[in-house]
Amino acid sequence: MILDWNDIDRWLMGEAWVGSRILSHLQELCDRIGPRWASTPEEREAAEYIRGQFEADGLADARLEEFELQTWSYDRATARVQEEDGPSIPILPYLWCPPTTVSGPLVDIGFGTAREIAEAGARLRAGIAVVDPGLEPFTTPVPFPIRLQAIAKAGARAVVGIDRKTGGRLEFQPAIDWRRHRIDPHPAPTVNVSRETGLYLRRLSGAGKNLAIEVESRFYTAPAANVLAELTGARWPDRHIVLGGHHDTVWHSPGGNDNASGTAVVLEAARVLSRLAREKGIRPGCTIRFATWTAEEQMLQGSTAYVRRHYGTEKLPLLMVNLDELSTGNMKGVILQFPHLREFVQQQLDSMQGGLVCHVMSQMDAWSDHFSFSLRGIPSAILWRWRFFGRYPEADYHHEHGDTLDKVRVRDLKEYAGLLSRLLLRLSQVPPGDWPPSAVEPRTVEEQIAREIGTIHRTFH
């Protein structure tokens, strides 16, 4: 069958625009269900909703795939300046903060550079360090998890990180470098305070005040589930491409940008392509597998479980495209983790005539689900995110309760859904034997990570 791409493209963009269900998905996920920490009833409700949508849209084999999640929750986190009558100080535990009851003198150590830690000297022993997790501009940048280890080694009982955002905003932060891909204990219990509270604590540090911190938290295992569905390929059904995005959020966040935006586009691309198959008889050549992952916010455990379960025996996917934080800018192209598909993907993008560009990251990017695939040597890609060139200046909402539905640009997401449908359909029509072969071995990836682990990811700052 000769494909009339002009006709197909018009149909796909038209359906993605006029038939769009993006807004109702966003309302369901962000407003009706709300925060979706993996393993909570709300997160399961979201997963069931997504499965139901896949099924209603006529996709094959819509299902939940369950696994045992290593999870964490906290009930209470408070701080109080000792010998002061003031109100308790708002804090947020860093993710996986252990249960903690500590007090000690506040010690301001700036950015926590080696020099600043050395200068604090004995004062840091049994103290509560107040530190800016950002980067001191005049010295070699060191990732915060490494600075945390040094602060703990110097004897700090706990660490108070100062959020870079202003106006009382507080984000959940990890104390661990995700490139290590395991949940190590905090070097010292670490909590977050707002920028304004941070300045207040710094003043108190100069006055020799003590801070008492209490965190009630617990670690446990609980079932969680990824959601999967397929559009079976008409010509090479045993080969596949994956389009995925995570549906979970951090605690308290309705997850509009992060990541109802990506989830809604996964659903829309699935719906639009499925409808094309039904109404026009045009099916993808290879299979397209659609997925929403759970527990991305918990060290990518959902996508990790999926890769473990499927890619011991199954043929590896030709490509995995990860959608995360799509409200930070409009669609500009694709960023590959490994270089070998660059020209190949660029050719497909060129045929779409939208000025879309294919880039390749020179560093391993561990901060979303494509990393689980990269670790297995699977060609993976993300789209532009908040950390990349061309983002909307106000689009910096993700791990906080302000990441609400109003942060999401529905029109952009419609365009993403249409453009991704066109790209995936094109890629699926290329015979698997004509794809440039991948030469990436998991060992090579491990070696690259080992080389980069002490460095800052360049696109982060």
Among residues 111 and 172, whose Cβ is nearest to Zn ion? Answer: 172
**Binding to Zn ion in span 323-352, by CB under 5 A:** 324
Task: Find residue 192's DSSP bridge partners.
Answer: 92, 161
Q: Is 268 in the site for Zn ion (CB under 5 A)?
A: no
d(C-alpha 164, C-alpha 134), whole Å: 7
Binding mask 352-391 for Zn ion (x = CB under 5 A): ----------------------------------------
From residue 278, give the alpha-carbon distance in Å to each of 53, 197, 242, 275, 288: 16, 57, 21, 5, 15
Please count the CA atoms within 13 angstroms of the CA of 37 that sit on its side-chain side: 16
Q: Any idea which residue has 């080992």 for tokens? A: 450
Size of the site for Zn ion (CB under 5 A): 3
Q: Which amino acid is at 122?
A: A
Among residues 71 and 197, whose Cβ is nearest to Zn ion? Answer: 71
**Binding to Zn ion in span 42-101, by CB under 5 A:** none
Stretch that binds Zn ion, among 15-23, 224-232, 252-260, 308-316 (CB under 5 A): 252-260
H/E element, 318: none
Return the structure tokens found at 428.
Answer: 């699926």
Among residues 259 and 404, whose Cβ is nearest to Zn ion? Answer: 259
d(C-alpha 434, C-alpha 131), whole Å: 53
Among residues 116 and 324, whose Cβ is nearest to Zn ion? Answer: 324
Least distance to Zn ion, CB of residue 351, Å: 30
d(C-alpha 107, C-alpha 30), whole Å: 40
Binder of Zn ion out of 39, 53, 192, 259 (CB under 5 A): 259
Among residues 253 and 330, whose Cβ is nearest to Zn ion? Answer: 253
Q: Is 258 in the site for Zn ion (CB under 5 A)?
A: yes
Among residues 259 and 327, whose Cβ is nearest to Zn ion? Answer: 259
Q: Which residues of 324-359 are buried (b: 16+ CB within 10 A; e: fewer)?
A: bbbbbbbbbbbbbbbeebeebbbebbeeeebebebb
Binding mask 286-325 for Zn ion (x = CB under 5 A): --------------------------------------x-
How many other C-beta atoms can be found within 10 angstroms of the C-beta atom of residue 92?
24
Least distance to Zn ion, CB of residue 27, Å: 19
Report the first-to-last Cα separation within the chain, whole angstroms. Answer: 48
Least distance to Zn ion, CB of residue 172, Å: 12
Give the interface with Zn ion as residue ranges (CB under 5 A).
258-259, 324
